[in-house]
Amino acid sequence: MATQYLFFSGKGGVGKTTMACATAVHEADAGRKTLIVTTDPASNLADVFEQPIGHHVVPIAGVANLFAMEIDPDKATEEYRERILGPFRAAMPEEVTKVLEEQFRSPCTTEIASFDRFVDFMDEDGFDTVIFDTAPTGHAIRLLELPVDWSQFISESAKGAGQTCMGPVQAIQESKDKYDRAIRLLSDAGRTRFIFVLQPEQTAIFETERSANELRSIGVHSQEIIINGILPTEVCDEPLFRARFDMQQRHLAEIAVRFSVPTRRIYLRDIEVKGLASLRQMALSLAGIEPSTMAAPGTDGSPHQANLNTLSARELKQLLTPANGAGKMIFFTGKGGVGKTSMSCIAAIHFSGLGYKTLLLTTDPAAHLGQVLDVPVGDHPAPIPSVPNLWATRIDPKKATGEYKAKVIEDARKRYSADMLAAMREELDSPCTEEIAVFDKFTEYANSKDFDVTVFDTAPTGHTLRLLELPFDYSEQVEMMVTTAKESGDIRAQTRARFENIISRLKDPKQSVFISVVYPESTPVIEAYRAMLDLKDTGIPTQLVVANQVIPANHSTNAFFGSRRAMQVKYLNEIQSRFGTPVLIMPLLEKEIRGVEVLNRAARLLFEPEDNGVRQEEPVQAGGARA
């Protein structure tokens, strides 16, 4: 039987990695040789399987027939570069090789290389089943659209100068053949299935519907849905959880109307799904042959408490708001689905309420600002009705790319010949221009002096770090490909000077504040901690952590939610010890955070903790004294 390909995707934090891993264990236990590959730059396969994995295919201990790999973007880049350049080093003069190596310093090479490695596994016939645990939806769709984009780009480049940001066309013709095969496989319903994982929440429904339509537009029609995190009826006897149960039931009915595809339902556990035993239990649930709940032994409904360093409202205001007339940038980062968009909207509402002219901006391709604010948000800053001092916008990747290309060509027209302009246009038609165009737009807003406070709702962690680490914009890279060595040196100097300002602002804690948003669960905490270390390596400190959807102690009145509360407290204490920064608590509410009224309430809970009477932890002040 031909290899079967299963893609798992969805809004970050909905459990797609768990579902992918459980499915992989099930396939392997059924005797099918199975490979699970993650394309998420912030991978957590190793955390779920509780063993090292890394950038090479390795067997999963305790499961015959199961293998796994985490694609490492840096290692994939080096492998790709060597595969393309290796034959040229032996056959070409040194000066030609140097020119080719210069091409591979393009900021988009990492994306190309990771994608190329991903497509390798769609050529893999050594496995019965290959499972792709993809990045959060917006980035997954981008990945799946690339075979079409790259194939077209290579064909067009072959008609022109024959140079691409991927290397010379003659060196990558084999890649075009590979990408064409990938296109055929993606649209083959007998070989490929695409499984969306979502939770019964409005933003997840919206994103899944949009993504499903985009996939159909590129020929991927074999789709399924797993609805995860459903509250069991029998444990929702407390008003907070009964209200959330009723909300979920309304969304489940909506999902049934909106989606006419095979659907499975998975109930919320009161323990984490990690390790082979719990993955096998989850696999049974996916097969519909397991009880709805999986209770942890020995738990009760007693309230568990965490001891946290926190800040008063006055200290928070001092940390977060502008001083001496200077603008302030606030960045919310974290694993997809932990509530970055909600926290960004809450913060923007808070700052605008203090009288600061505030811009709320998202760099996430699967943006949900409009759903949370409950008003349309376009690609140019516009005031939010009924909220004085607040503007919002999103960076539209497609539109930003068009504007960017036009700007680069218009500037180049003043300096270069017609032949050089033609070469630049050819380079700018590369699919990887989109990433740099988004970065260019990001720097435009970051350098703007139009607002007192700019709140950035960033893409999921791995993609945010990629954005902040881009060394220079693609227009300079394109020019270096078509100009002389001396001209390239001049361009490098100009670029370095132009970016010094934004880099210094990002590193200055008085001008930029980075806030990590987490759920108090294993995977989000580990990923957020890795991201904090990566940011620290670039000279950017993380100054606050927001723990989102914390179950209030006085609501964990039965064994089920007592168990979940105990799990959360364990990770709250781990957050405190790992990060060493003040921790803010956003308690679980009875409804989704959506609309200005709920956002205002949430802002009081988050930024005025000592005034609202709902703080359920036992905080200590940053200086160490009991609050």
* CA–CA gap between residue 455 and residue 475 (Å, rounded): 27
Instruction: Provide mean pLDDT across the span 173-190.
Output: 72
pLDDT at residue 254 tops 80 = yes
Per-residue pLDDT at 322: 86
Helix/strand/coil (H, E, C) string of 445-488? HHCCCCCCEEEEECCCHHHHHHHHHCCCCHHHHHHHHHCCHHHH
Percentage of residues of the chain with pLDDT beyond 90: 32
pLDDT at residue 619 tops 50 = no
Does CATH number 3.40.50.300 belong to domain 307-621?
yes
Residues in Cβ contact with 495 at an 8 Å cutoff, skipping those fewer than 6 apart = 472, 473, 476
CATH code of the region 4-286: 3.40.50.300
Say what the alpha-carbon torsion angle 517, 521, 524, 529 is, to the nearest 10 degrees.
80
- Residue 612: which pLDDT band, with cuts at 50, 70 and 90? very low
Residues in Cβ contact with 597 at an 8 Å cutoff, skipping those fewer than 6 apart = none
Q: Give the relative orientation of helices 596-607 and 313-320 as an angle to the nearest 10 degrees.
A: 110
CA distance readout (Å), 431 to 115, 379, 474, 517: 12, 20, 12, 31
pLDDT at residue 389 tops 90 = yes
pLDDT at residue 349 tops 90 = yes
Per-residue pLDDT at 176: 62
**pTM to 2 decimals?**
0.79
Per-residue pLDDT at 81: 75
Nearest to 137 by CA among 188, 197, 219: 197
pLDDT at residue 248 tops 80 = yes
What mean pLDDT, rounded, does the chain reach? 78
pLDDT at residue 436 tops 80 = no
Return the H-helix or E-strand segment holding 253. helix 239-258
* CA–CA gap between residue 292 and residue 265 (Å, rounded): 10
Looking at per-residue confidence, does 166 or 514 come out higher? 514
- Residue 135: which pLDDT band, with cuts at 50, 70 and 90? low
Instruction: Provide mean pLDDT across the span 36-47.
Output: 78
The answer to whether the Cα torsion of 398, 595, 542, 325 is positive or negative is positive
Angle at 81 between CA 75 and CA 86, to 5 degrees: 125
Per-residue pLDDT at 51: 92
Per-residue pLDDT at 124: 67
Residue type, 248: Q
Looking at per-residue confidence, does 612 or 45 come out higher? 45
Pull the structure tokens for residue 140: 């997954």
Instruction: Provide mean pLDDT across the span 435-446.
Output: 78
One-character DSSP codes across 499-546: HHHHHHHHH-TTTEEEEEEE-SSHHHHHHHHHHHHHHHHTT--EEEEE
Looking at per-residue confidence, does 443 or 123 come out higher? 443
Q: Give the relative orientation of helices 137-159 and 169-186 as an angle to the nearest 10 degrees.
A: 140
The dihedrals phi and psi of 619, each to the nearest 5 degrees, come to: -75, 150
pLDDT at residue 172 tops 80 = no
* CA–CA gap between residue 271 and residue 566 (Å, rounded): 10
- Residue 49: which pLDDT band, with cuts at 50, 70 and 90? very high
Pull the structure tokens for residue 482: 């078509």
pLDDT at residue 383 tops 70 = yes
pLDDT at residue 621 tops 50 = no
Q: Give the lowest-confidence range in 46-50, 66-70, 467-471, 619-623.
A: 619-623
Buried residues in 80-102 as b, exposed as e (16+ CB within 10 A): bbebbbeebeeeeeeeeeebbee
Looking at per-residue confidence, does 469 or 190 come out higher? 190
- Residue 573: which pLDDT band, with cuts at 50, 70 and 90? very high
Per-residue pLDDT at 432: 63
Strand stretches in 312-384, DSSP E = 328-333, 358-362, 382-383
Highest mean pLDDT among 199-213, 248-262, 299-313, 600-614: 248-262
Span between the terminal Cα atoms of the chain, in Å: 65
Q: Is residue 349 classed exposed, middle or buried when 0-12, 13-18 and 19+ CB atoms within 10 A define those classes?
A: buried
Percentage of residues of the chain with pLDDT beyond 70: 73
Per-residue pLDDT at 220: 80
Read off the pLDDT of residues 449-507 as tens digits, 9 standing for 90 and up: 899 999 988 764 444 555 555 543 444 454 544 454 445 455 555 555 556 677 778 88
Per-residue pLDDT at 485: 45
CA distance readout (Å), 337 to 122, 158, 473: 28, 41, 29
pLDDT at residue 61 tops 90 = yes
Q: Give the lowest-confidence range in 79-88, 127-136, 525-534.
A: 79-88
CA distance readout (Å), 126 to 1, 60, 129: 11, 16, 9
Looking at per-residue confidence, does 154 or 578 come out higher? 578
Q: Judge whether 299 and 609 are in contact, CB under 8 Å.
A: no
Per-residue pLDDT at 222: 87
Read off the pLDDT of residues 71-121 as tens digits, 9 standing for 90 and up: 887 787 777 777 777 766 666 666 666 666 666 655 556 666 766 777 777
Q: Give the lowest-confidence range in 61-65, 108-112, 283-287, 480-484.
A: 480-484
The dihedrals phi and psi of 144, each to the nearest 5 degrees, come to: -75, -20
Q: For the chain, which residues make up each domain, given as ranges?
A: 4-286, 307-621
Pull the structure tokens for residue 436: 């740099």
Instruction: Provide mean pLDDT across the span 305-309.
Output: 78
CA 255 to chain centre: 24
Helix/strand/coil (H, E, C) string of 413-436? HCCCCHHHHHHHHHHHCCCCHHHH
* CA–CA gap between residue 81 and residue 70 (Å, rounded): 19
